[in-house]
Amino acid sequence: MSSDSLPPASVEKQPFGRAADGSDVEIYTLVGLGGLRAEIMTYGATIVRLWVPDREERLADIVLGYDDLAGYEAGRNYYSAVVGRFGNRIAGGKFSLGGTDYTLPINNEPGGVPCHLHGGPEGLDRQVWQADARVEEGEPVLRLAHMSPDGHMGYPGNVLLTVTYRVTADNALRVTYGGETDTPTILNLTQHAYFNLAGAGKGTIEDQILQLGASRFLPVTRGLIPTGEREMVVGTPFDFVAPRPIGNQIGDEHEQLEIGGGYDHCWIFDEPGPDKRLVARVLERKSGRLMELFTTEPGVQLYTGNFIPEGEAGKAGQVYGPRSGFCLETQHFPDAPNRPDFPSTVVHPGEPYFSETEFQFSTV
């Protein structure tokens, strides 16, 4: 976009309804100098809309979701919410920490095998967060905070959680997660945005071109729990080391694709480390929208919306179905609390949790 057509960076707050528990929910619109616009509500720290320009400078909302709060409260797809305390699955809803066994509620049974998913039925995606918004150094920032009490959804520790959204001047949405606990606990937060770079409701994402900096992935059991193996992607439908369409081999006869109904697996990045680095790219050729993913996390769950109900009503009269969007959930590995060989998700008092992921948008 030309500099003359760009609005100044700004933050605007509006009411977005009242949650079932009586809490007022607000929605914040963050407008960046580069034209990127994010609309984020306090319920679930959820991205309701994300407006991104194409190569002709036309804006489109590229995340799936609902028009109103009632849709999110009734929905079960985690559309663009922050999930946790533990994003992804924990086998049988059980783990041990410091010699104590913990039992978490079961809220998912893939293949008839029970597990705990995304923090449980009343996880962070169902909480109303406290907001503080401002423009800092020419960039709009929304800081959301939530005190998760000891024992909530079975997790130990009183944990003060923060999620900070920043729309940068160069058209990135930066998401920074923080957490402080008063007793050892586990944390694994992630953003569950469903992206469609053509625009939400504009067909499937199968032709969008994905590249992942990951030569290994975690195969799963029938219950979508990692087996513990770290399988090489070369020669399999899981090979996105070189860019290719997401749907290129999604229908292949492969046991792992059959189990997930498509992709619902964690890839292991080749260059893990504490610093944020480029790990993925997705291109939608018609619009020219390119999304580049940067993160501090060791892995990413690619989910291709396999279980979105056919004909589901979305925003603005749109109709969704399977593979209407893809998720790139940056995170530590699924079931990590039960896998000592996986990177640890344990957080201790005095050692704050930190994670950062950035979605950078441009055009080609």
Q: Are 349 and 230 in contact (CB under 8 A)?
A: no
Of 262, 151, 256, the C-alpha closest to 205 is 262
pLDDT digits (tens, 9 = 90+) for 100-114: 999 999 999 999 999
For 71, the enclosing helix (H) or strand (E) is helix 69-74
Ordered by start, the domain boundaries in the chain are 3-363
pLDDT range class, residue 2, cuts 50, 70, 90: very low
* Burial (Cβ within 10 Å: 0-12, 13-18, ≥19) of residue 361: buried
Point out the catalytic residue in the list 192, 297, 332, 358. Answer: 192
- The neighbour count for residue 215, using CB atoms within 10 Å, is 18
pLDDT range class, residue 164, cuts 50, 70, 90: very high
Average pLDDT of the chain, as a whole number: 96
Query: Would residue 253 show up in a list of annotated catalytic residues for this protein?
Result: no
pLDDT digits (tens, 9 = 90+) for 50-96: 999 999 999 999 999 999 999 999 999 999 999 999 999 999 999 99
Of 159, 9, 164, the C-alpha closest to 85 is 159
Query: Would residue 152 show up in a list of annotated catalytic residues for this protein?
Result: no
Percent share of the chain, pLDDT over 70: 98
DSSP one-letter code for 343: P
pTM of the model: 0.96
Point out the catalytic residue in the list 39, 139, 297, 329. Answer: 329
Residue with tokens 């100098």: 33
pLDDT range class, residue 160, cuts 50, 70, 90: very high
Of 299, 314, 303, the C-alpha closest to 250 is 303
pLDDT range class, residue 7, cuts 50, 70, 90: low
Of 86, 97, 80, the C-alpha closest to 119 is 86
Identity of residue 221? T
CA distance 10 to 38: 11
pLDDT over 70 at 6, yes or no: no
pLDDT digits (tens, 9 = 90+) for 222-280: 999 999 999 999 999 999 999 999 999 999 999 999 999 999 999 999 987 778 999 99
Choose the CATH number for 3-363 among 3.40.50.620, 3.40.1710.10, 2.170.150.20, 2.70.98.10.
Answer: 2.70.98.10
CA distance 274 to 265: 22
